[in-house]
Amino acid sequence: MLNTGEKSPEFEAESSLGRVKLSNLRGKKVVLYFYPKSFTPGCTREIQRFVELYDEFKKLNAEVLGVSVDSVETQKRFSEKYGAKFPVVSDKEKKISAAYGVLNDKGTSAQRVTFIIDEKGVIRSVLKNLKKAEDHADLALDELKKL
């Protein structure tokens, strides 16, 4: 798993809002959160909390990207159901999850990990092993306020 101080790996992928390229977000802070599977209870609570706090992220010049290995069709349905205004990325080939070192032990899905990336593309914080999935959004917002 990547650590604080490392450069965030570049990626380009399909999302609920079209094609996303990480380097196009340089100059903004990025909250890149990985989650295991759309429409499961924890992942649902997590996206709902990111949606609730999205305007707060925008005020801090930050963009949110959610990533799982689900198909782009699933990501679109998940995003639409919960009103996500941010891209929910499909990593069906697991390349992004592998690059960030967050694939689970079986290699079947991403672990629940959130990376806070600064305007230059450097990872400034890594959130993992949190008891509640929805805490990722609140703690990510706290970390952004420190940058």
Tokens at residue 63, please? 């963009």
- Alpha-carbon distance of 55 to 51, in angstroms, equals 8
Residue type, 67: V
* DSSP 3-state of 12: strand
Catalytic annotation on 43? yes
Q: Where are the beta strands (DSSP E) in the chain?
A: 12-15, 18-21, 29-34, 62-68, 88-90, 113-117, 123-128
Q: What torsion do the CA atoms of 36, 139, 5, 11 make, to the nearest 10 degrees?
A: 40
Catalytic position from the list 43, 51, 103, 110: 43
Residue type, 70: D
Which residue carries 């959610």 as its tokens?
A: 66
| Residues catalogued as catalytic | 43
